[in-house]
Amino acid sequence: MKTLVISAFPGSGKSFLVKHNKNCKLLFSDKDNGFLNYEDEFKEYANEIMDIIGKVDFLLISQYPEVLKILHENGIPYIVVAPNNSPYLSSYMRNIIKQQWFGRFYLRKDSNDWMDLLYKNYDIWTSTSHLKSMKPSKIILLEGCEYLSNIINDLEELKALCGIDILND
């Protein structure tokens, strides 16, 4: 089985997609991880991810550059999904998207510390230069009202069409 590894920004709907696609013919795994900040934790998480590859169709993971670097070094391709913070959007639209994403964090009752960390780093973590630095096979930018569940059909087509360039055996 080929696995499409998707590293998605917090609030993009990883857990929702897995929970609400139980009757789907595709196998999903949500391997999102809590807060990591030590080299050993990054390595352990990357190893857990690599152990799942080949067992599911879609593997949804957190967006730690340190972990993605390990995956890249091991030849494992992945897609990065993040809120659209492109410099080609007006600052007005970027702010609306940012507000909508923070509404998601508020509604799911994330801790104030977590939301403060995301707010402090949002513009950096969602910048196109940062996303490109993670060396993904593809970057998908979500608008304010979009979730992974909105683009799953595109991901199914991507999985079917792109073969080894995007997917790993």
Fold of 4-165: Rossmann fold (3.40.50)
CA dist 63 and 48 (Å) reads 14
pTM of the model: 0.84
Q: Name the percent of the chain lying above pLDDT 70.
A: 82
Mention every residue, 6+ apart, whose C-beta is less than 8 A from residue 159: 2, 4, 57, 58, 166, 167
The first and second tokens of residue 133, run together, are: 């630095």
Q: Where are the domains of the chain?
A: 4-165
- pLDDT value at residue 56: 85
For the segment 125-163, what is each residue's pLDDT rounded down to a tens digit? 999 999 999 999 899 999 989 998 888 777 777 666 544
Closest CA to 122 of 85, 91, 147: 85
For the segment 33-63, what is each residue's pLDDT rounded down to a tens digit? 565 555 778 888 889 889 889 888 888 888 8
Share the mean pLDDT of the chain.
Answer: 83
- pLDDT value at residue 168: 37
